[in-house]
Homo-oligomer: A and B are copies of this chain.
């Protein structure tokens, strides 16, 4: 038996298997694999970089925060309590980290064929130097070595930043965040490497239970009268400026749909008043979010911030689980998303501005060829973000390039986002993207559709240059 077939990490993994194409892919990859990582959108905790404390243990770092992992275990009947996921009511959950880790190991076969196993094997092998396969038999050995390693200086967050060759990483903070960790980084060399992103959903989505309170707090933070539409917008402007002081080059907007609106001023004022008055209808909720996307695009035109739109996630669809464990516990689901009608109001107002940059993300792959690529291949302001969330996977990346490239080209895309809170998996995730891009480019070369020198340039552009250009970094 070919031992490569059973090694932890195949050096040719994800490349095409035909000799000609694989050799081209290898060549392209070898030239870009060591380029610095630009991570322009993600969910790492800025505290890690500010405080630079050691991570505690394998389970707390690698398993409990990773919704990709616990949702799959949950799907096979393993309770979230037994995985140590904290309950909203503070009720008892498993606290024996080693026991949780063993459950993970005993069920690691569930991840065969999923990106999680690629990422985890990469972490085990490349970050911790483990060479055996992860299983019940090696669970304790893995747990002990990882947990021990994490206590050493070489595994502190900043040391890992260097080791991972992360040039810049953007975290994501809400409109009323105090940015205290970014404040503590200010003035240090790390301030240029760990930047924030302005994500105002908490004060933009009136269907959130804490919206009214968040808008009030927004006023407090900025000294604006956020009980009025104009003060609310000015408060947003002020917060954008503050975020820019802490490195932010981009905003981010996670909306259930891609709807945008362009209401008259009186209509905006009335809508905002209704939203602040308490019980918000679903249509008012949608309309305020829609109007605010257009407002934010206008502010981006003023202040130069790049605008990211992550549209189409239906949140907390599992109500009993949401009530027991709260947000982000694996019960968020994709939904059909209509970008062409949805973005119409915004695009008719600002779509022809070449200085505006709006990066679109989707959970609905049917829109790649039908909507997103035609839009990005026409409107000067639009760029396409990489495959997101459920689609951040080898097959997902391949479908994105195959379905978006012919109408949008490569130069209306912006490279890769890891979009993760799983800090140790960042090199693994970027490596998958680099390999899949080289694979796609190699296939185009081998089929005579682009030339090798073009592919070489594209590999570097997709890995590095387009990310910095796309995000003004």
State A108–B457 Cα separation when bound (angstroms): 14
- A365 near B370 (CB under 8 angstroms)? yes
In the complex, what residue of chain B is closest to A21 when comparing beta carbons?
Answer: B17
- A109 near B366 (CB under 8 angstroms)? no
For chain A residues 417-453, which have a beta carbon within 8 Å of chain B? 443-453
Contact of A344 among B71, B118, B317 (CB under 8 A): B317
* Residue A319 CB within 8 A of the other chain: yes
In the complex, what residue of chain B is closest to A321 when comparing beta carbons?
Answer: B352
Taking the closest CB of chain B, its distance from the CB of A447, in whole angstroms, is: 6
State A393–B406 Cα separation when bound (angstroms): 7
For chain A residues 377-394, which have a beta carbon within 8 Å of chain B? 377-380, 382, 390-391, 393-394
- A336 near B450 (CB under 8 angstroms)? no
- A447 near B369 (CB under 8 angstroms)? no
Contact of A458 among B112, B321, B335, B403 (CB under 8 A): B112
- B340 near A320 (CB under 8 angstroms)? no
Q: Which residues of B contact A48 (CB under 8 A)?
A: none
* Residue A12 CB within 8 A of the other chain: yes
Contact of A318 among B74, B318, B352, B410 (CB under 8 A): B352
Contact of A369 among B13, B336, B391, B451 (CB under 8 A): B391
* Residue A6 CB within 8 A of the other chain: yes
- B17 near A114 (CB under 8 angstroms)? no
For chain A residues 124-171, which have a beta carbon within 8 Å of chain B? 133
Q: A334-B370, A340-B317 are in contact. Are A13 and B448 (CB under 8 A)?
A: yes
Taking the closest CB of chain B, its distance from the CB of A89, in whole angstroms, is: 16
* Residue A331 CB within 8 A of the other chain: yes
Q: Which residues of B contact A1 (CB under 8 A)?
A: 452
Taking the closest CB of chain B, its distance from the CB of A337, in whole angstroms, is: 9
For chain A residues 18-46, which have a beta carbon within 8 Å of chain B? 18, 20-21, 24
* Residue A351 CB within 8 A of the other chain: yes
State A225–B71 Cα separation when bound (angstroms): 44
Q: Which residues of B contact A378 (CB under 8 A)?
A: 71, 74-75, 318, 330-331, 333
- A112 near B406 (CB under 8 angstroms)? no
- A314 near B333 (CB under 8 angstroms)? no
* Residue A409 CB within 8 A of the other chain: yes
Contact of A72 among B5, B112, B409 (CB under 8 A): B409
In the complex, what residue of chain B is closest to A392 when comparing beta carbons?
Answer: B406
- B377 near A72 (CB under 8 angstroms)? yes
Q: A112-B454, A375-B333 are in contact. Are A76 and B352 (CB under 8 A)?
A: no
- A14 near B447 (CB under 8 angstroms)? yes
A358-376 vs B, CB cutoff 8 Å, 1 = contact: the mask equals 0000011110011101111
Taking the closest CB of chain B, its distance from the CB of A104, in whole angstroms, is: 14
- B333 near A374 (CB under 8 angstroms)? yes
Taking the closest CB of chain B, its distance from the CB of A70, in whole angstroms, is: 10
- A113 near B405 (CB under 8 angstroms)? yes
- B448 near A109 (CB under 8 angstroms)? no
State A384–B458 Cα separation when bound (angstroms): 36
In the complex, what residue of chain B is closest to A335 when comparing beta carbons?
Answer: B340
Q: A6-B451, A113-B406, A446-B17 are in contact. Are A366 and B370 (CB under 8 A)?
A: yes
State A445–B2 Cα separation when bound (angstroms): 11
Of the A-B pairs whose beta carbons lie under 8 Å apart in the complex, a sample of 22, sorted by A's number, is A5-B451, A17-B20, A71-B377, A71-B378, A75-B379, A75-B382, A75-B408, A109-B411, A109-B454, A112-B454, A113-B405, A113-B450, A114-B406, A114-B409, A317-B347, A320-B352, A334-B374, A365-B370, A369-B396, A373-B390, A393-B406, A393-B407
Q: Which residues of chain A have a CB within 8 Å of any CB of chain B?
A: 1-2, 4-7, 9-18, 20-21, 24, 71-72, 74-77, 109-115, 117-118, 133, 314, 317-321, 330-331, 333-336, 338, 340, 344, 347-348, 351-352, 354, 363-366, 369-371, 373-380, 382, 390-391, 393-396, 402-403, 405-412, 443-454, 457-458
Enumerate the 9 nearest inter-chain pairs by beta-carbon distance, A residue then B residue, closest first.
A10-B448, A13-B448, A77-B354, A393-B406, A5-B452, A113-B405, A17-B446, A334-B370, A6-B451
